[in-house]
Each structure stands twice: as structure tokens, then as C-alpha cells.
Chains A and B, each alone.
Chain A
Amino acid sequence: MEQLTRRGFLKRSMLATAGTSLIPQFLKAWEGPVDADPDKILVIIQLSGGNDGLNTVVPYRNDIYYKLRPQLGISSEKVLKVSDELGFNPVWGSIQRLYDQGYLTVINNVGYPNPDRSHFRSMDIWQSASGSDQHVTTGWIGRYLDAQCKGCGSHSAIEIDDSLGLAMRGSELNGLALLDPGKLFLATKQPFYKRLSEVQGDEPHIAYLYKTAAETASNAQYIYEKSSVSATTTTFPNSELGKKLKTIAELIRSGMSTKVYYASLSGFDTHVRQGMQQERLLSQYGEAISALVSDLKQSGNLGRTLIMTFSEFGRRATENASGGTDHGTANNLFLMGGALRKSGFLNGVPDLSHLDEEDLVYQIDFRQIYCTILNKWLKADDKSILGESFPLLDFI
């Protein structure tokens, strides 16, 4: 998306004229939602395995919580209180600071109708943005690329991993997976690969393979050259997620035209002895994300970056007999950035007095959040990407 878009053109012409009021109405109409906003960036962080939302954001005033979780419940003295009813897990000091600065919005009770408690199925549903009775083989970001990014190359969406997840697959375009820019560049500049990218197939199907190889090589080179001059001085934790977010921070610093970044942290499937395990992961997450936020702030990118963190489901409200929790349904979702319209808590607390078979009942469909991000943040046609319209939320 290096080309000058209509929107960019309009912005520049606005500077030349006196102000918005001088722009004719018909020109303003061009700035409809289908015109991609070249400035905005979305970072998605996936917590794989089903993060226990109730021990992440603790309803420390609720007796039912402590009744359902005699072993696992986090005592109200330890909780980092941020509202009259809710507080963060004790290891989330770093997140509390983001909350205090207005960089965090928490949405409670996020889920979807007829929830599926299988990891792979529920992750499928979240990544493809489908209903639980549908099977969709493309991802929501992939379909965003199909709709918005014709001709912009697969670096429009980058997943920090060795392989590409469903979310990033469209029917025409895919995102690009890379664990680090240097590694991908090294692989594609080998003589074998370089030679391939100069060959063209003699038939459409095989041509697709050669085209993919050529695009990978050119993207790898573009990304490597851009990112090699944008090293950050921010200290990122040396954890798995810390390294991934450092890569994202440097790619954003480099001024690349990438719209969406995607990273995952795994290990949240805490059926047994949850306490230590979840706290280790949450603290890894908290430290890595606050390094990212402060780096974005330092490089002047926080205002144009929105970070969304989700998990495929929450966990059962009742603890199990092994010091853990089993698969549940509705969960909290976290949004961070410098342009949040409503920071803090967007909606009410989880209702523990009306459970459905020991599980929380969802109030906000996750696709409302996707829809809001696509429509208001990425200025994309949310309806065509999601297949239907969902009520917009007002966090941005």
C-alpha cells in the first residue's frame, strides 16, 4: 500500500486549502468506509488454550466467585483493584499501569451463541469469524486482505510465526508468516530460492506456486531492508512473546505499510494446578505488552495502533478437583492503544448468579468487536468481510 491513496491525497490537499469546510461534499463522500485508512495498525495477540478470564480480571467483591473457587479464588487483599468490583491478577502490575494511563479497555462477557468447548473448533470460529454452526475455510483478516489489499502484497498482514494461521488466510490473498525478518530473508536469498522466483509457470496452477515463491522473496527482502534500520532501544523481556512483540515493534518503527500483525502465546489450557502456570503466562504477557506499548509511545505510533488480545474461550466458573479449571465459554477481551474512546471497562461485570451449566453467558458477540475494528479502525467494508452486520461498539 505504498501508493498514494485517495484519502492520503485528500489529506494533503486539505493542508493546501484552509480546512475541511472547503472540501466539496462530493469529495468528502469519497472518504467512505471502503477506503482503507493508510495510517492505522492492528496488532492481534492470541492467548491459546483458553485463558481463565475470572482469575485474570477478578470479581473480588462477589461471594459466588469465592464459593465456586475455594482453592483457586484470588483473595481480595491480593487483587490489584481497579474498580469497585473488579481487580487484576496480582502479577498484572504492568497492565494496571496501562489501565491507569487510559491505554486499556476491557470488554467482559465476550463470546458467541451455542459455544463450542473444543479448542480447535472454538479457535476456528474466532479466527474465521463464523457462527458455531458454520465451517468457513478463510480467516477474517484474510478476507480483509481480499477486500482491501488487492495488489499490496502479502506483507499487508504479518504473523510472527513459522507458519500461517487460519485468521490470515483469504481466498485470494494470504498474510505472510515470519518468526524473524532475518531468518526469512536468509532462506529466500539462497541461490535455489532466488532462482525459483525468476521462473514462471506454464500453467495457472503451477504458476501460482512460482508466483508465491517470487512474492515471498520480494516481501522478505523488503521487510528485511526496512527493518534492519529500525532497531529499538526499548528493553523487551527475553520471553517467547517478548521476542515476537519486539519484532512487531521494530517493523512498526520501520514505517512499513503493514496493516495487521498477529502473534500467539500458548499454554493457557490449565486443567491441573492452574495457579502458578497462569500467573507465569500472564506476567510474561504483561511485561511483553507493556514494553510494546512504551516502544510505540516512544516512536510516536501509539495513537495509530490498536492491540487486541483474545483467547478461544474462558474457563468454567467452578474450579475442578485438580486445582485447575475446565473449558468454559464467555471471556474477557482486551484492547490497548493511544486512541481508545472509552478506556477502562466497556460493559458490566461477569454475572456469576446466572450461569448456564456452570458457564458464563456471553453478552457481546466477538464479531461485534471485529466489526467495529474493521469499520471504524481499518475503514473496511465490515459487512462483506463478516458476511453480515453486527451492532458497532464505541471503544474507538
Chain B
Amino acid sequence: MIIPQAKVKHLLYRAGFGTGLQMESWNENALWKKSNDDHLLKVVDKPNLDSDPREMKDRAKEVFEKSRQEIMKVNAAWIDQMARQPDLRERMTLFWHNHFACRTLVPWFAQDLNNQIRLQALGSFSDLLTTVSKHPAMLQFLNNQQNRKDHPNENFAREVMELFTLGRGHYTEDDIKEAARAFTGWGFNFQGNFQFRPRQHDEGVKTFRGRTGNFQGDDIINMILEDPQTSIFITRKLAAFLVSDDGVSESLVKEWSDDFYRSGYRIDRLVRNILGSETFADPQNTGTRIKSPVELLVGILMQTGGKFDDDRSLTFIQRALGQVLFFPPNVSGWPSGKAWIDSSSLAFRLTLPRLLFSGDETDFRVRDEGDVNGLQNDTPGRRRLHCNVDWSLIANRFNKSSKDATLAAIEDFLLSRPLLRENRKWVAQVTDKKTDDKEIVKSGLIAMMSLPEYQMC
């Protein structure tokens, strides 16, 4: 049995990003706070393009450089937002950002797709799927601009079925070919709006999953949604995200996905079913999930109120840990769980708190993607990732009558699972020589954040 307080904490970790510094009065309801327009990212303006961007080729380098900087501004704004408003909507936006993994060189596309996902993150999956599928960022990423009558490009049709809805094994290669024909003509204009181009659309008769007709793109999406397999596929993936990387039993998947399907794909309903279940609350599923790099980073910022001297540190940390928002490795998104951990990523994770708060330097070199227009490596050398924290504020919050009580309060605040006994002893030793209250809190917090326990949620 989980005691109620631990239950709320578990919920905060899985439906949000953990217990936040500003969260004294937090309870379950805060997670469901209705989102309003303030939550939308507004870093870049909609471009006013009146010509083909390809004509800017002669200044390509300059254009790419600027767009890269702007996408990283959107990236930083989102991380900041998650750390300030660590609610379920942000959490689900992160889930869909991975599910509908997409790369674009147009900063406004990146920001707008993210905002559209945020608005519908807890709404209807049918609407969300349609919005994402018609978004210029996705149409471009999956080459649907090149999908024309007599010259079909199957990439878009394939990924919609394999990764967004049905999953591998639930459609045939012929289904992909026929669906691709139905999606011909789906494109976007230079203003960045969806555009259907009738002259590029294949008006012929298509046979898709046993049905025959003069199908359009929307018909294909509707037929995919009519198949309960879509509900099963989404349910299984969301359950793994919220409950356990190892997944949940197929009988639970069936129970939840039946309800999800009957509700007309209400995401909020599915989420409530999962979070309210006994399986979710099972201690076996508590503190047993390895945080993704972004969850780790957001958690650190949220739990300290930290602000970087230089936003480039945010980029560096995401690259060093292997997850840069808006730059998924491919359309299937980032792998999760143990895949985050290898000898070097783990070592970097464990040193990170000291790099941020103790003034340590790093000469770690991040990987180069090879793309001259991609994220560039700075010149190698030592670097500081200094992050500013108001330690007096934190000391006031956690200072108790005895050092043991202070450390216990920090532990309860920071960790989703108790410290191993030998580690608790070690943390006490680390803070042993400190007499100043602020120093005790600071060194205790950094020590606990440097342990594997802090990698779990």
C-alpha cells in the first residue's frame, strides 16, 4: 500500500515532472489546470514569405544559421515553460512531441506544431491526428509535398500507419501504396498553411484495407481511426509512458483501449483511466522509470528554480545526454528506458549537478551530426554550465531544527524513491563539515541530485 502522500508524489512525477519548488499547495487538481492561450510558445513570428524559400539559396548559410538559433530559442522557451508550469498538459505535449516526431528547418513550423499539439494534448486524438497530419512541418518532413499523381511518395502514408496509428503488421504494402495515392495533393503554401492541390491529386479509385472508393486523404484517416487497433496502439504506448517502460498487461491495454475507442478517442479520459488504476499506484511501478534527459533537466530546473547564465548551456546538456527537443533522431522518436543509459551518458548525468551548481568545468565533447547546417560543435575545450540558484530561498524552505531532519526534508522533496541506506550515510558525511545552514542545504541537495536515485521517477 502506498500512503496517500507518496501517491500524490508518484502522480506528480508521472503526470508532471516531480515535486516543484513552488508547489507547496500542489495537489492532484493542479495537474489538470485548464490551459489557456498563455501556455502557447510565442518566440518566433509567422514568416511573411511571398516567394519560394529555395530562391534564398545564395544566402543559405545565413538563413540556416538564423533558423537554427531561432529553433533553439523555441527549445529554451519550452524547457523554461515545463519547469515553471510542470502540469499534465506539458507532460502530454512532451509525449506527443515524441509520438509525432518531426524535424523542420522553419522555426515557426516547429513552434506552431508544438502549440497545436499543446492545445489538443488532452482533447480528441482524432482531431490531434488530423491537425498534425495536415501541418506543414509534418507534410514537409515526410515528403508529402513530393507525393503527386503518377509520382507517389509513400513516406507520409507509411509513417502515418506504422508510427502514428496502427503499428507495424496491421496493414499491407498495398495499403500504403493506395493510401499514398489518396494523400496526393496534400501540401502547404509559402504562407505555411495547409493546401489541397486538386491538380496533383489522384482522382482514381483506390482499394484500402478491403474497401474501394475514390478516397481522399481524410477518408484514409477516418478509416484508420475506425479500426480499434489504433486505439490499442496509442493506449499501449501511453501506458508505457505513464506506468512502466516494460509496459502493462494486455488485458489492461484492452480494457483501457476499449473505453478510449468508445469515448471517441478522448485522450483526457484515457489518461484518467490510467492514472486512476491500481496498476499505476503499484509500488512496483513507483520510482522505477529512468528519466529522459529532458525530464532530468526540467526536473533540476524546477526543483531549484535555476536559470542559466547562457542558454547555449541548455543546448549543450541536451546534446550531451542525447535528447534535443525538436531534433528527434528519426520519425519514430527517441528510444526510452535503459536506452538512455550507457557508460558515458550515465557519468555525465551524475556529474551534471556539480557542473551546474559547484562551478565544475567539463571538456565533454558532444557528437557532430555531420550536417554543416545542423547544430554546430563549438570549439573543443573546457566549458562552464553555470546555473544561478537562490540558495537562501531553498535553505529557508528546507531548514529544520536538526541536520538529519533537513536532509530528510530534501530527500523527500527531491527523490521519487528513498535513498539507499549507504547513500544516506554518504550524504550525511558530505554535509558533515558544513556549519552554515545554507551550505548544508546546498551540499545535501547537490549530493542527492548526483546519485542514481535522482535519475529515477
A contacts, CB < 8 Å to B: 48-50, 119-121, 123-124, 133, 135, 137, 154, 161-166, 169, 174-179, 187-188, 192-193, 195-196, 199, 201-206, 208-210, 212-213, 215-216, 219, 264, 266-272, 312, 321-322
Contact = CB atoms under 8 A, between A and B. Distances in A.
A48 B369 CA distance: 7
B452 A206 contact: yes
A164 B347 CA distance: 12
B330 interface: yes
Contacts of B350: 192-193, 196, 213
A212 B452 CA distance: 11
B347 A272 contact: no
A266 B329 contact: no
A193 B172 CA distance: 51
A162 B288 CA distance: 27
A206 B343 contact: no
A114 B347 CA distance: 39
A205 B290 contact: yes
Contact of B332 (A135, A175, A203): A135
A176 B330 CA distance: 23
B370 A162 contact: no
Given A205-B290, A209-B452, A164 B343 contact: yes
Nearest to A312: B370
B452 A210 contact: yes
B420 interface: yes
B371 A124 contact: no
Interface stretch (B20-28, B267-275, B301-309, B333-341): B333-341
6 contacts: A124-B329, A162-B366, A199-B423, A203-B287, A206-B288, A212-B346
A177 B342 contact: yes
A312 to B, nearest CB: 7
Nearest 8 pairs between A and B by C-beta? A48-B370, A269-B372, A135-B332, A49-B370, A216-B343, A209-B452, A137-B335, A266-B368
Contact of A163 (B288, B335, B344, B423): B344
A199 B419 CA distance: 12
A123 B369 contact: yes
B32 interface: no
B347 to A, nearest CB: 6
Contacts of B103: 120
A238 to B, nearest CB: 14
Contacts of B373: 269, 271
A161 B365 contact: yes
A266 B377 CA distance: 10
Nearest to A208: B338
Among A176, A205, A268, max chain B CB count under 10 A is at A205
Given A137-B335, A177-B343, A206-B452, A195 B426 contact: yes
A231 to B, nearest CB: 22
A215 B426 contact: no
Given A206-B417, A216-B346, A123 B370 contact: yes
B342 A164 contact: yes
A123 B369 CA distance: 8
Nearest to B418: A202
A205 B343 contact: no
B132 interface: no
A245 to B, nearest CB: 17
Interface in B338-366: 338-339, 341-348, 350, 364-366
B292 to A, nearest CB: 14
Contacts of B70: none
Interface in B198-233: none
Contacts, number: 139
Interface of B: 57-58, 60-61, 103, 158, 163, 287-290, 320, 322, 329-332, 335, 338-339, 341-348, 350, 364-374, 377, 417, 420, 422-423, 426, 450-453, 455-456
A105 to B, nearest CB: 24
A133 B370 contact: no
Contacts of B331: 135
Given A48-B368, A123-B369, A266-B368, A205 B289 contact: yes
Contact of A120 (B289, B371, B417, B423): B371
Contact of A212 (B57, B60, B342, B417): B342
A74 B344 CA distance: 42
Contacts of B163: 135
Contacts of B288: 203-206
A193 B347 contact: yes
B149 to A, nearest CB: 19
A208 B342 CA distance: 10
Contacts of A120: 103, 329-330, 369-371, 374
A271 B332 CA distance: 28
Contacts of A163: 320, 322, 344-345, 348, 364-367
A162 to B, nearest CB: 5
A373 B420 CA distance: 45
Given A174-B343, A192-B450, A269 B330 contact: no
Contacts of B453: 206
A330 to B, nearest CB: 17
B452 A201 contact: yes
Given A49-B370, A203-B288, A268-B370, A209 B346 contact: yes
Contacts of A179: 365
Nearest to B322: A163
Contact of B456 (A48, A133, A135, A206): A206
Contacts of B371: 49, 119-120, 269
Contacts of A188: 347
Contacts of A267: 372
B66 to A, nearest CB: 17
Nearest to A47: B370
A119 B370 contact: yes
A196 B452 contact: yes
Contacts of A312: 370
B227 to A, nearest CB: 21
A321 B420 CA distance: 63
Nearest to B343: A216
Given A164-B345, A322-B58, 8 more contacts: A165-B367, A177-B344, A178-B344, A192-B450, A193-B347, A206-B288, A213-B347, A216-B346
A362 B343 CA distance: 37
Contacts of B377: 266
Contacts of A192: 350, 450
Contacts of B422: 199
Contacts of B368: 48, 264, 266
A208 B163 CA distance: 29
A92 to B, nearest CB: 21
A172 B371 CA distance: 30
A268 B372 CA distance: 8
B331 to A, nearest CB: 7
A202 B452 CA distance: 12
Contacts of A269: 370-373
Contacts of A196: 350, 451-452
Contacts of A50: 370
A162 B365 contact: yes
Given A135-B331, A196-B350, A212 B372 contact: no
B370 to A, nearest CB: 3
Given A137-B339, A164-B345, A202-B420, A209 B455 contact: yes
